[in-house]
Amino acid sequence: MGPPGLTAAARLGLSPPRRLSPAMALTSVAGMMFYHTIMPKTKVALTIDTDLLERVDHLVARNRFRNRSQAIETALAEKLARLARTRLAEECAKLDPTEEQQLADEGLAATGESWPEY
């Protein structure tokens, strides 16, 4: 296989050796080479409902995702993003509109300005 850290082309002797950093990966598409960074990943074991896993496998079979890991990682990332937005909405709901208006008016009064007319 050749020394680790060399490009695939260098291992085949097609170009001078070029060392890649551990965070770089080589992708070849139709003869073109692209270098991109890879986020560190951790392998985990999950227990998932059989029906849910079958639905994930169906999406993988239809090429919606490359594999189960990508499907589950995407779903988890989307859920965490949705929860973050929900948290912001919950915190905003705690604000008292009257108090916020008074604070805004107070800030404008200190600068001698007023709210623009719409």
Please write the tens of the pLDDT for every residue from 29-81.
555 555 555 678 888 999 999 999 999 999 999 999 999 999 999 999 999 98
Same domain for 31 and 46?
A: no
pLDDT at 50: 96
Whether 20 and 63 share a structural domain? no
Average pLDDT over residues 12-16: 52
51 and 23 share one domain: no
3-state class (DSSP) for residue 86: helix
Domain span holding position 91:
41-98
Which ranges constitute the DSSP H helices of the chain?
A: 8-11, 50-61, 68-93, 97-111
Pair 21, 65 in one domain = no
CA distance 63 to 57: 10
User: Residues with Cβ < 8 Å from 74, sequence gap 6 or more?
Assistant: 65
Place 85 in a pLDDT band, splitting at 50, 70 and 90: confident
- What's the average model confidence in pLDDT over 100-106? 81
